[in-house]
Each structure stands twice: as C-alpha cells, then as structure tokens.
Structure 1
Amino acid sequence: MSKVFVSSTLFWGTPLPETLRLVRQNGLAGLELWAQQFFLENFQEAEYLRYVEKYGLESTVHACSWDLNLASANAGIREASVQQVIRSLELASRIGAREVTVHPGHMTMVCWREESVQLLQHSLRRIAATARSLQMPVSLEIMEKIKKEFVTDPASMEEVTGPLFSFFFYTLDLAHCDSTEEMETFHRALPRISKLHISNRVGPQYHTPLPDGDYDFRALLPLLKAWDLPMVVEGYDSTTAHEVFTKNIHFLQEQGGIIEHV
C-alpha cells in the first residue's frame, strides 16, 4: 500500500496538535509541512517533534515558494528566494523530514526564457550544495502550464537542472497535468520520482478536492497504486470544520486499499 500524506495547507489556522491528531486519526502516513505556513503561524519545532513522535508520523517539507522566484531577473528577489529555500532545508533537517519539495523558478518576462534557464541553474547549484551538506533530498516539482512558468515537463526539467538532473528527485503533481495520458507520459519519462501530489482540477482552477473536477480519480487510483509511490493530498482549507480534508479522506477511504479507517 502506498503511503499517503496530506499537505498542512488543508489545516490553515489549525493548531499543530489538532492537525497531527487528525492526520493520525485518519490513517495517514504523515504531513507535508509547508515551511511558509510553519514560519507564518509561528509553529514550534519542539512541539512538532513531540507530536510526530507520539503519533508515529513521517514528515516531508514543502519549501517556501509564495512571492519567490529562483529564476528572477531581480538579483535581490533571486537571492531572497534561494535563502528561503535554504531556510526550508534547514527546517527539514531539524525535524527529520524525508525530503523537501521545491518549486523551480519562473520567467520574469515571457520572452526571457534562455536568461531564465541560466539564472535558475545558478540558484539550483546553490540549493544542491546546501542539500548535500545537510544530506537532505530535494524533490523538484513540475509546474502547471501557465504564463511565465517554463519548467512544465520532463524535458524542461532536464534542461534547467543540467548536470544536476541525476542529483535531484522529482515530484509529479497530477493537477498540473493536462490529461491522464500526460500523467502516464511524465511518469515514464521522469526518473527518480519521489512522490505524487494528488488533487483534482476544474479547467484552470487547480487543487480541488479529489472527487470534484475534470479527472475521475476512481478510475485513476488503481493506476496510481500500481506506481507504488508516496502520495500527498493537496489543497487549501482554512475552515474550522476541515471540510476539504474531510471530503478527500472520505473519498479515499471509500475506494479501499488506499487508506483505511483507524
């Protein structure tokens, strides 16, 4: 059975003890902790570690990405972006996370692709150096096909990583794919996939609940199970009732063989 994690963004505004209790209570393997949320909500590392140990949970970390750009033409923004990713790596190391998910940068101007590739390569070399020193795996995420994003398929990922292509791991986000056929193509083409991000989409609206969207996850789940990769349920929910989380979990429990009632 593949391990199923959940993004901490489905518990926005929720205290850590309650979040981790719900993760354990619903039979999940652990949490993908968004570093930006950890810092914004002033979570305490000691408390996090105490509850992770209490419930026997695993952790991955999603590096800070909001308002950042590892390929920015603005040197100050690019430097701040690298430093925030390094800060995320250091957090992951301290809490014993399995790996860190990193968003590659995007173009400052859509006509500056070649320049953006070079700037991103420089940023990734610095991130790789820190990852090596901390012995922390980094998993780069293939992004959605929207304006200014250019790392949107295995070929562009190989281009921007260059000689580091075999150093990094990779995260395949199913909501960023344009069809189920593309999901399968990317899975075949991309080496060292460390996990799947799973959520649905409605046209250009990304990360909707699994049963609500363009993809039939009832039909997809047998394929995903066969891939035997860890899966992270993504989305955003700031409701006190955790409505999106609950909808996703009930859906997965109903399918059987993904997660079970605890």
Structure 2
Amino acid sequence: MVRSSVASMFFHESTLSEIFATVAASSLDTMEFWPETPSFWLYGMPMDLLDRCRSLYSSMDPMTVHVPILDLNPCSMNPKVAAASREYSAAAIRFADRIGAGVVTVHPGRRTAKRPPGPDEYTRFEVLIDLLREEANRSWVRVAIENMENKVNYLLCTPKAVRALLDREPWLYFTLDVSHAMGTSVESVLEYIELCSDRLVNVHLSRSENGVMHLPMQGHPDSQRVLEALAEQGYQGNLTLEIEDLRFDHTLSREEKVALLNEEERFIARFFV
C-alpha cells in the first residue's frame, strides 16, 4: 500500500509543532522530514522536541528523511565543502536510523562550474558512495539516491545513469524526483519508472512546466501519465509531495495548505485503489 506524504519544507515558516499538526490535519499519511527545516535546524536540531512531536503524532511513523542540501555539494571543487556535505549525508542516515525512518534520500552532487562533470567530480562522487555504503551497512534505513535535473553540471540526471549505478550498488535504492525528470520531458519520467522501478522506494511528486519546478500535480495530463505508470508497475512505496509554496500568488495560510494537500491526495489516490 502506498503512503502519501509531504516534504516538511512545504511549511518553511512554521514551527515544528505546527508542521506536525498541519500534516496530521490533512489526509496524508506521513511526512518526509528535512533536518534543514528552519524551526529544527536553526535551533540546534532539538531532538527532545522532535521526539515529543513524533509521540503526539505516532501514526506518521515511519517517516522518511532527506539529507541536508542547502549550501552543500558532495562533489564540490572546494574540499571542505565536499567533506562537510558527505558528513551531513552520513549524519542524516544516522539521524534517520535514530527516528526509525524507512528511507533516507541523498543528492549525488554536481560540478561547481557550469561545465560537464569530469574525472574529479566522479572521483568525489565515488567517495560519497563509499561512505553511504558504510553507513547503510550499519543501519536498517534504506538509502536512496535521487535523480537530478538534466543540467550541464549535474550528476545522475538520466535514467540510464541511475540504472547503471543501481546495478553496480545492490544495497542502494532510488528516489524518483518527478519534477527533475519532467524538466526534460514526461517521457523521461516514464523511462525512469520503467528502468528503475525494482529499486524505487520514494517518489517526489510535483510537476515541471516551462522551466518552473515543484508545481502541484492535480488535474494535469502529465501528472496522470506518471501516476498511471507508477500504478501499472505496482509501486507500493512513499508518494511524497514536494511542492514549492512560493509558486502561488500569495502566502498560503495553514488552512489553504491543508486544503491543497487534501486535493493532491484525492487526485493521487484515484490511481492507487
């Protein structure tokens, strides 16, 4: 059975308690928790508060986790940035293990300059993979690599590249970011599903149109094609709404966010009866 979810960063300005209460007020099952959620990250990652929220809303367990990515890049040409990024990724796996999360999603990184990745970037990427493998072997959490936008300096931005990595690393899982892939075409999304569905454990659901990413899914023909393809493959993992709340013409209230999440969930549920 699929579990409907939303990224905690959709509630960027909210307190941790408000985030949990708002997700609980919606029809969603759970949440993808970003340690960089400001009300958690900027206050020293207070685990006691997170534990209290999880206890109050225990039906959300297991959540999923996304590694920190803001200002970070494990393939950076700056060795200190690359090292810090790898350590945050490893720490996120330990954090996910600590809260009993089922999946932790990792970004592969990019070349710092807007040029095609070269040997240096791929060497740094291999250092990341080695570290993730070590952490995965010590954890019950499934570590999932995410596909990136098909931009000149990004790694893992084609279905074949992700499939080749999964074939090489049997411990590794996959998070499909629909908006990243849809920036190329909806056919690219469908190719990811066809090639990588056997290792797919999380799907970041949002739409891309005319270069604008992380739009709502509901009602659009491209969204329908993606959800139909996932259902036809028998997907049974997390469906995580990753919507940018700044894409709207005004600041959404709590009630409007709940209503939007409910509309998205109803649209998605039509394909997973």
Q: CA deviation at 1:52?
A: 2.5
Between the aligned partners of 2:122 and 2:167, the Cα distance in structure 1 is 10
Query: Is the 2:22–2:258 contact (alpha carbons within 8 Å) kept by the matching residues of 1?
Result: no
The Cα offsets for residues 63-118 of structure 1, whole Å up to 9 and x where unpaired, read as 00111111122211110111111221222122111121100011133244232112
Between the aligned partners of 1:147 and 1:84, the Cα distance in structure 2 is 25
More moved, 66-75 vs 150-159: 150-159
Give the direction of change, closer, same or farther, for the CA distance of 1:220–1:71 in structure 2 (3 Å limit): closer
- SS at the partner of 1:30? coil
Tell me which of the two structures has the higher relative contact order, counting C-alpha pairs closer than 8 angstroms and 6 or more residues apart.
Answer: 1
Q: Unpaired segments of 5 or more residues in structure 2?
A: none
Please name the residue that 1:132 is paired with.
137
Give the direction of change, closer, same or farther, for the CA distance of 1:93–1:211 in structure 2 (3 Å limit): same
Between the aligned partners of 2:167 and 2:223, the Cα distance in structure 1 is 34
Which of 237, 241, 252 is the matching residue for 2:245? 237
Q: CA deviation at 1:6?
A: 0.5
Q: CA deviation at 1:157?
A: 2.9
Between the aligned partners of 2:219 and 2:167, the Cα distance in structure 1 is 37
Query: Is the 2:146–2:177 contact (alpha carbons within 8 Å) kept by the matching residues of 1?
Result: yes
Please name the residue that 2:112 is paired with.
108
Letter in 2 for 1:86: A
Please name the residue that 1:250 is paired with.
263
The Cα offsets for residues 204-228 of structure 1, whole Å up to 9 and x where unpaired, read as 2110122487x54245434333442
Please name the residue that 1:210 is paired with.
217
Letter in 2 for 1:131: A
2:130 maps to 1:154: no
Query: Is the 2:218–2:264 contact (alpha carbons within 8 Å) kept by the matching residues of 1?
Result: yes
State, as a whole percentage, how many aligned pairs show the same letter.
23
Please name the residue that 2:46 is paired with.
44
Between the aligned partners of 1:201 and 1:248, the Cα distance in structure 2 is 18
Question: Scaled by the length of structure 1, what TM-score is found?
Answer: 0.86
Between the aligned partners of 1:152 and 1:208, the Cα distance in structure 2 is 20
Please name the residue that 1:95 is paired with.
99
Q: CA deviation at 1:45?
A: 2.1
2:188 maps to 1:186: no
Query: Is the 2:186–2:222 contact (alpha carbons within 8 Å) kept by the matching residues of 1?
Result: no
The Cα offsets for residues 150-183 of structure 1, whole Å up to 9 and x where unpaired, read as 21023323556784x2111101111112223222
Query: Is the 1:237–1:245 contact (alpha carbons within 8 Å) kept by the matching residues of 2?
Result: no
Please name the residue that 1:5 is paired with.
5
Give the direction of change, closer, same or farther, for the CA distance of 1:259–1:49 in structure 2 (3 Å limit): farther
2:148 maps to 1:143: yes
Across the aligned residues of Structure 1 and Structure 2, the Cα RMSD in angstroms comes to 2.7
Letter in 2 for 1:246: A
Q: CA deviation at 1:40?
A: 2.7
Q: Unpaired segments of 5 or more residues in structure 1?
A: none
More moved, 63-72 vs 245-254: 245-254
- SS at the partner of 2:31? strand
Question: Scaled by the length of structure 2, what TM-score is found?
Answer: 0.83
Letter in 2 for 1:54: L
Give the direction of change, closer, same or farther, for the CA distance of 1:212–1:256 in structure 2 (3 Å limit): closer
Between the aligned partners of 1:234 and 1:184, the Cα distance in structure 2 is 18
Between the aligned partners of 1:40 and 1:122, the Cα distance in structure 2 is 28
- SS at the partner of 2:6? strand
Letter in 2 for 1:31: M
More moved, 174-183 vs 219-228: 219-228
